[in-house]
């Protein structure tokens, strides 16, 4: 039955993305909203001609006006609906990680739109769940979803945090937590040990999306001098050390992250020379260039340089700057592992940027591997924005 109280009617010609499965409706695509709304009100999405298209949750003050959750008009967005979506997401991860708990006990349980739960991310770190809320429209449903997560996983320690972008974009405010921030949680990642600060670390505390890529990059580390830029808490370097790197330098702006990176080498007993430096990455790379330094393997894992389309040109210049510098610092035949986590930067964009960098650096660069997200970060085929992580492993002559 169609909700007769709150409807969102689209402008003529703006229904195509909805019909094709995209889960977002921006305010500019809407001609009118019928009924009283507040963040989290259930709305029916109608075409300009009055045809029912989908059902979602509205945030009347946000540019991203409606998040769509179902295209089945018989489904109601009640507590049982969200519980079923959580159950399906957790079931998928149980299949993906079956039998791996002895080597890997940290992975993504819920990935927002890709799991039909727009605005919700849940990561499991051993016996703690880190829940990140990206929309004020979900706040009133949080208690029920957290109860379901606890009962479905058997995990009782849950920390809920707001996505930084949503705080800025929607003014998202979460209720005060019932308990204290969980202590730092020690996880296993492919046999390595890492400490995760789920209370104040970046994203949900750790970069789970690079788990498989750390292993792939480490395959090139044996016998090489490694420079890891934007190293955060040192996960790439620990894997590289275990694979046989002879020397490692890590650079990051955050001194607390660097302190934890040093700790990670201690607890994993890597036993090689590791030099961590706090500072601006681009400035550090330029200083290394001026000093005549060179390396055999350079890892570039920067933060998101492009957060909106208006930032595209500036962001690509930022990527080009650090990649060009890295190419100049590599010894002949050296390996560049370069990444982008900007969802708006496509793999084609990224490859072109690497090409521009190679020309300006005067180096021949060949791409030998293309990398992306692990399977616990699935890509929704109708939502290209869910494919945000790109990586290239290159040989630089």
Positions marked catalytic? 341
Q: How far apart are the first and last CA of the chain?
A: 64
Spatial CA neighbour of 49 closest among 90, 11, 91, 101: 11
- At residue 53, the 3 state secondary structure works out as strand
CA 209 to chain centre: 6
- At residue 24, the 3 state secondary structure works out as strand
For residues 26 and 38, what is the distance between their CA atoms, to the nearest angstrom?
16
CA 148 to chain centre: 23
- Look-up of token digits 């890590």: 250
For residues 9 and 66, what is the distance between their CA atoms, to the nearest angstrom?
11
Contact 148, 80 (CB under 8 A): no
* Angle at alpha carbon of residue 158, lines to 157 and 159, rounded to 5°: 130
Contact 108, 117 (CB under 8 A): no
CB-neighbour burial class of residue 333 (10 A; exposed 0-12, middle 13-18, buried 19+): exposed
- At residue 3, the 3 state secondary structure works out as coil
For residues 57 and 144, what is the distance between their CA atoms, to the nearest angstrom?
16
For residues 56 and 179, what is the distance between their CA atoms, to the nearest angstrom?
31
Q: Go through the chain and tell me how many residues it has.
A: 397
Tell me the C-alpha to C-alpha distance, in Å, between residue 393 and each of 33, 297, 298, 299.
48, 10, 10, 9
DSSP state of 175: P
CB-neighbour burial class of residue 14 (10 A; exposed 0-12, middle 13-18, buried 19+): middle
Reading the block at residue 299, the tokens are 């890892």
The tally of CA atoms less than 13 A away on the side-chain side of residue 249 is: 18
Spatial CA neighbour of 303 closest among 236, 252, 355, 367: 252
């Amino acid at each position: 039955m169609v909700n007769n109280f709150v409807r969102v009617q689209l402008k003529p010609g703006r229904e195509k993305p909805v019909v094709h499965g995209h889960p977002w409706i921006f305010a500019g695509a809407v001609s009118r909203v019928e009924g009283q709304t507040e963040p989290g009100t259930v709305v029916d999405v109608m075409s300009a001609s009055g045809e029912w298209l989908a059902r979602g949750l509205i945030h009347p003050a946000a540019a991203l006006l409606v998040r769509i959750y179902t295209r089945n008009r018989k489904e109601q967005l009640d507590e049982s609906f969200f519980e079923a979506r959580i159950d399906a997401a957790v079931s998928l991860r149980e299949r993906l990680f079956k039998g791996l708990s002895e080597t890997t006990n940290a992975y993504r349980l819920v990935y927002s739109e890709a799991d039909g739960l727009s605005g919700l991310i849940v990561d499991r770190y051993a016996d703690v769940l880190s829940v990140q809320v990206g929309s004020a429209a979900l706040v009133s449903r949080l208690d029920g979803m957290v109860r379901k997560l606890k009962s479905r996983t058997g995990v009782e320690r849950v920390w809920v945090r707001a996505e930084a972008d949503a705080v800025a974009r929607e003014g998202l405010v979460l209720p005060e937590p019932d308990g204290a921030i969980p202590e730092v949680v020690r996880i296993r990642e492919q046999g390595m040990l890492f400490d995760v600060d789920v209370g104040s670390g970046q994203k949900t505390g750790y970069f789970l999306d690079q788990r498989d890529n750390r292993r792939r990059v480490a395959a090139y580390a044996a016998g090489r001098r490694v420079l890891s830029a934007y190293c955060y808490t040192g996960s790439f370097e620990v894997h590289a050390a275990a694979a046989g790197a002879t020397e490692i330098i890590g650079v990051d702006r955050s001194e607390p992250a660097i302190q934890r990176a040093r700790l990670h080498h201690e607890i994993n007993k890597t036993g090689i020379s590791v030099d961590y430096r706090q500072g601006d990455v681009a400035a550090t790379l330029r200083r290394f260039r001026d000093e005549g330094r060179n390396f055999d393997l350079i890892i570039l894992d920067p933060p998101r340089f492009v957060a909106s389309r208006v930032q595209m040109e500036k962001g690509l210049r930022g990527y080009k700057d650090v990649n060009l510098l890295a190419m100049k610092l590599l010894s002949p035949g050296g390996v560049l592992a370069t990444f982008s986590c900007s969802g708006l930067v496509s793999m084609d964009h990224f490859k072109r940027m690497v090409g521009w960098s190679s020309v300006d650096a005067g180096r021949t660069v060949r791409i030998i591997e293309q990398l992306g997200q692990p399977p616990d970060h699935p890509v929704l085929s109708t939502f290209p924005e869910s494919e945000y992580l790109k990586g290239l492993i290159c040989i630089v002559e």
